[in-house]
Chain A
Amino acid sequence: GAVVSQHPSRVICKSGTSVKIECRSLDFQATTMFWYRQFPKQSLMLMATSNEGSKATYEQGVEKDKFLINHASLTLSTLTVTSAHPEDSSFYICSARASTSGSLTDTQYFGPGTRLTVL
């Protein structure tokens, strides 16, 4: 099956620093990738939709200048949390849509997640 990886799996950083998280589709091309955030005991909330070669679309309430998304290739999207603060501590999960047919309903494959802790 399709595999999506994330790196790093865990990161601890000091308040005010920036952290970059990578999401890669390993065995398929993904024109669209999605970034989710999950707080403890809560469900996944979509942060943004990332299309290769264009600007990401952010959900309401998500600061685009704080959560920078780059989708430079068909297999890689990055999420940079800029000037991180303790309230940004969360579990960040990406997914990639295998666009073999170009349908918007193609299956999304999820990465294993990145645990961010901001001290």
Chain B
Amino acid sequence: KQEVTQIPAALSVPEGENLVLNCSFTDSAIYNLQWFRQDPGKGLTSLLLIQSSQREQTSGRLNASLDKSSGRSTLYIAASQPGDSATYLCAPLSGGSRLTFGEGTQLTVNP
């Protein structure tokens, strides 16, 4: 059974800082891994999807890396802004098209 852990659980930083969010998973037999953003009381917004054959993906100020063999992924956020405040979830896709979610990192970026 896939288990996903995200560290830290919460993070509060001043605007402008560069951040690293960590995700680890126990079963390395994954097809891909997605990072999502969830605002309070809302659904999920997909940020980045990394295929199992890829090492990283970039979108604007976001960069996600994947080390499948060690069961780790990181999300790097450059020059953080207050609008980045949200909960960030990682979810590897395993057999049976099953997405397993971590409990997320709650990010607060202070102006």
In the complex, chain B residues whose CB is within 8 Å of the CB of A97: 97
Decide yes or no: A46 and B103 within 8 Å by CB, A93-B44, A111-B43, A113-B42 being known contacts: no
Say whether B55 faces chain A, with CB atoms less than 8 Å apart: no
Judge whether A105 and B42 touch: CB under 8 Å.
Answer: no
A105 lies within 8 A of B99 (CB): no
SS class, residues of chain A in contact with chain B: strand
For the A-B complex, the count of residue pairs with Cβ-Cβ distances under 8 Å equals 48
* Closest Cβ–Cβ distance, residue A101 to chain B (whole Å): 13
> In chain A between 80 and 119, which residues have their CB closer than 8 angstroms to a CB of chain B?
91, 93, 95, 97, 104-105, 107-113, 115
Q: Would B97 and A43 count as touching, CB distance under 8 A?
A: no
State whether the Cβ of A49 lies closer than 8 Å to any Cβ in chain B.
yes
Which A residues touch B49, using CB under 8 A? Answer: 107
Chain B residues whose CB sits within 8 angstroms of the CB of A109 once the complex forms: 46
Interface: B89 (CB within 8 A): yes
Residues of A in contact, count (CB < 8 Å):
23
Is B32 engaged at the interface, CB distance under 8 Å to the other chain?
Answer: yes
A43 to B99, CA, bound (A): 12
Chain B residues lying within 8 Å of A34, measured Cβ to Cβ, are 99
Report the nearest A residue to B45, measured CB to CB: A110
- Name the residue among B49, B89, B97, B98 with the largest chain A CB count within 10 angstroms: B97
Q: B residues within 8 A CB of A42?
A: 103
Q: How far is the CA of A42 from the CA of B104 in the complex (A)?
A: 8
A56 to chain B, nearest CB (A): 13
Whether B25 sits at the interface, judged by CB under 8 Å, is: no
Contact indicator A43/B44 (Cβ below 8 Å): no
| Nearest CB in chain B to that of A104: its residue | B97
Besides A32-B97, A44-B89, A105-B32, 5 other A-B contacts (C-beta < 8 A): A43-B103, A43-B104, A44-B101, A105-B31, A108-B99
